[in-house]
Amino acid sequence: MQRLLAWLGWFAGLFVLWLLFVGTASDWMEWIGGVFAAAIAATAAEVVREQGLLAFRADRQRLRMLPSRLWLVVVEFGVLAAELVRQLLRPRVERGAFSVVEFPAGGERRVDRGRRALVAAIGSLAPNTLVVDVDEEHGRLLVHELVPRRIRDELP
């Protein structure tokens, strides 16, 4: 019974997320697609949960930092828009850049796993930045920026 309730919870949340992503709730084809996609994803989530791979706990201190980090979405969107205009006016080949950021990755406790997942998600929220990897052993993040700016202090 507990597995069924967990699956239904995943299904409901993922189905609502599907409808938000497609942007319409009036097309019956989107509803059918959403039902199938949510069922497949809920099944996968339950398989992962049953294997113990979803055992983490949120780090409340880092969660409180989330609203203050949302401004990076706007800032980095502006950076990408400015770069697009520059490329349209004066095309040149530019590459993104990888950088390494120190990060206390912690150990194998649930709160440590939650902190790593949260930092990877928040760090990849802004459109210019992607957290590629969390190196637990050396306490570092590998971060890629499309337009290199070296603003890594903003990572949580």
Compare 33 and 125 and report the one with higher pLDDT.
33
Mean pLDDT throughout 10-33? 87
Output DSSP code: residue 143: E
Q: What is the pLDDT of residue 11?
A: 94
Residue 70 neighbours by CB distance under 10 Å: 11
Which pLDDT does position 108 carry in this prediction?
76
Q: Tell me if residue 97 falls in helix, strand or coil.
A: strand
Indicate whether 35 pLDDT > 90.
yes
Domain boundaries, the chain: 2-50, 60-154
Report yes or no on whether pTM surpasses 0.95: no
| pLDDT for residue 54 is more than 80 | no
> Using CA atoms, how far apart are residues 86 and 92, in angstroms rounded to an integer?
9
Please count the CA atoms within 13 angstroms of the CA of 87 that sit on its side-chain side.
10
Backbone angles phi, psi at 98, to 5 degrees: -95, 145
pLDDT at 12 over 90: yes
The whole-angstrom separation of Cα 41 and Cα 57 is 21
Q: Is the pLDDT of residue 36 over 90?
A: yes
pLDDT tens track for 59-79? 677 677 777 677 778 888 888
Report in angstroms the alpha-carbon separations of 117 from 1, 57, 96, 147.
29, 10, 23, 24
Is residue 144 predicted with pLDDT exceeding 70?
yes
Q: How wide is the angle at C-alpha 50 spanned by C-alphas 142 and 33, nearest 5°?
A: 80
Q: What is the mean pLDDT of the chain?
A: 82
